[in-house]
Chains A and B, each alone.
Chain A
Amino acid sequence: MSDHDKRNAVSAKSLHINRSPWYANLAIHIVFILFSLACLAPLALLVIISLTPENLILQNGYTFFTRELTLNAYEFLFSKPDLVINAYSVTFFIVIVGTFISLFITILYAYPISRMDFPFRNFFSMFIVLTMLFNGGLTATYLVNVRLLHLRNTVWALVLPLIGSAFYILIARTFFRNTIPGELLESARIDGASEGRILFQIVLPLSLPMLATIGLFIVFRYWNDWFQALLYLTDKKLYPLQFVMNRALMNVQYLQQNISTLSSEEAMIELAKMPSESLRMAMAVTSIGPIVIAYPFFQKYFISGLTVGAVKG
């Protein structure tokens, strides 16, 4: 494959003449500049609102052009630990624990079914492919999780329902099959290495790009999830960040109502000072901050990872 790429690169250079005409190039640039602006403008609006003083928002509405910028909303956000710090800790907990367990299960499942000498590989592949095709639907899933597994109002309701993914297992299986030479595993086995040792000391170190890709997707899945909280949580202490944001969007008074630890008198004073419009937006900005920062570093991994997924084996 890399040979092929290299040859393509060389011939592309020699094909310098085979470029689209300059006006086509220009037109495409314009299309992509507009597309990129369309992708970024809403995010820019969000950031600008979060930095606009409350009185200007109420006066001028949400706008890209503001006379004055302030960090008021962010200061307020981080000065009230009970408001979002709790939500952040829940989110960090589910992201770390969820990703760890989920990735572990994915690897442990993908490795055996990637082994061509494993006689039950087709059975266990079908076992997960079936879950991609059929499901009991939301109602049955909800009743199983609530009535049978008693997940309602536990932090595990946010972790466990998302833990197994047939799709990621299939990607990992394909990766193991295509990139780990069978002779390597064979010789390790002849040298007396156990299966666990082969997986953890030979296969996994060779699979880091794939692990990074799948890990990243699982991280995003947990970080962005609010649906499980919508279904299973009524206990405010367990609300993850995305769900607090959901509540704050659906109910303007949500944030005001939930500065709980203050006495009523203090709360009244606090409420008067609360920049509620920009505060919501500031919260949304802090929730996408980590994604935007981490994302360019991982981009090259997940593009190659996606390609692995597209070429299903």
Chain B
Amino acid sequence: MNSVDNREYAGRQAWLRRFGKSIVRYRALLFMLLPGVIVFILFNYLPMFGIVIAFKKIDYSLGILHSPFVGLENFRFLFATTDAFRITRNTLLYNAVFIICDVFFAVFVAVAMRELWQPRISKIYQTIIILPYFLSMVVVAYLVYGFLHPQLGFFNQVLRRIGQKEINWYSEPKYWPVILPLVHWWKQLGYKSVVYLAAIAGIDQDLYEAAVIDGSGKWAQIRYITIPLLIPTMVIMFLLALGNIFRADFGLFYQVTMNSTMLYEVTDVIDTYVYRALTSMNNIGMSSAASVFQSFVGAITVITANLVVRRIDSSQALF
């Protein structure tokens, strides 16, 4: 008994000594890490502890730390509203459409791009279709506004010209489930296809050579060589995006819709709701409850997605 304790003690001592030595030996590297560690503690880890706010009734006169705990009351309030269902539905549906179609469209763009005879011209196309990715959502909102402005907008000009009734775009919810995905793809598609272009460039050309010698045509090559070799990348991109299914693109849903109240039925997502509860409704409890709900369910989906990724290809897993 005593000797086991001694051995354990000695082992711990040795480990501590090695640990101390490592710290001294690598002190320069540790010192380099310091600014980053401080930044991540302040801006990432401290807010994680802020999750307790969702379980408190915040009273500014008492301060956040001394405000009383109320258990799950904030969540009960949130889920008693119809908002909770609406924002969850909108977030999930839009993201599901984005995630699924992004993969297929991006692969289509990449495969088509490779089949062009003129690589120079395909570089020009690439440059153009990636450009929207680098514009801010505010600029994108200006562009959309140019088309949808109720009086001056381009679309209503055209409708008037052909004798149709004008559409009040910013107060008619039914058009937005189409407009928002179009804006999303306009901004993201070119950029997303780059990953697949890189993957296609990495495919061994000998495979195609062998296929040609065997007499297979283009379709067969795409179907039996290109696509099967892209599937691992597709699965990874799909799963990584799936992990973020509870996080909506705030700029798209807030700025592009001009935060129009009349559109909330189809444009209000968790992120915009949290923002509104925090600022205009000034309801910290509700806001933090929605925010924690998002982080919590989001974390579960990320971890699950990562588990699946690791099963498929452990080198692609995030952790």
Residue ranges of A at the interface with B (Cβ–Cβ < 8 Å): 4, 7-8, 11-12, 15, 17-21, 24-25, 28-29, 31-32, 35-36, 38-40, 42-43, 45-46, 49, 57-58, 60-64, 104-106, 108-109, 111-113, 115, 118-120, 124, 126-129, 131-145, 147-149, 160-161, 163-164, 166, 169, 194-196, 199, 220, 223-227, 231, 242-243, 245-246, 249-250, 277, 280-281, 284, 287-288, 291-292, 295-296, 299, 303, 306-307, 310, 312-313
Contact = CB atoms under 8 A, between A and B. Distances in A.
Given A62-B146, A139-B274, A143-B53, A284 B212 contact: no
Closest 5 CB pairs of A and B: A140-B50, A136-B47, A137-B291, A224-B136, A109-B36
Given A25-B116, A42-B146, A138-B278, A132 B50 contact: no
B9 interface: no
7 contacts: A112-B33, A120-B30, A129-B319, A136-B44, A224-B137, A245-B142, A306-B198
A108 B35 contact: yes
Contacts of B186: 38-39, 42
Contact of A249 (B145, B152, B198): B145
Contact of B26 (A119, A126, A291): A119
Contact of B149 (A39, A62, A142): A62
Contact of A11 (B32, B124, B205): B205
A105 B36 CA distance: 6
Nearest to A283: B142
A19 B208 CA distance: 11
A24 B128 contact: no
Contacts of B131: 39, 292, 295
B39 A25 contact: no
Given A39-B129, A127-B37, A135-B48, A249 B142 contact: yes
Contacts of B144: 42
A49 B195 contact: no
Nearest to B28: A195
Interface in B135-183: 135-139, 141-147, 149, 151-154, 156-157
B39 A164 contact: yes
A221 to B, nearest CB: 10
The winner among B28, B47, B112, B209 for most chain A CB atoms within 10 A is B47
Interface stretch (B79-87, B96-104, B292-300): B292-300
A135 B33 contact: no
Nearest to A164: B39
B185 to A, nearest CB: 10
B259 interface: yes
A64 B291 CA distance: 43
Given A120-B22, A137-B295, A194-B28, 13 more contacts: A11-B209, A38-B186, A46-B143, A62-B153, A112-B30, A119-B22, A133-B303, A137-B288, A139-B54, A139-B291, A195-B32, A242-B136, A284-B138
B29 interface: yes
A21 B318 contact: no
A148 B53 CA distance: 14
B21 to A, nearest CB: 10
Contact of A61 (B29, B151, B275, B279): B151
A11 to B, nearest CB: 5
A131 B40 contact: yes
B154 A39 contact: no
B299 A133 contact: yes
B154 A61 contact: yes
A144 B50 contact: yes
A64 B44 CA distance: 46
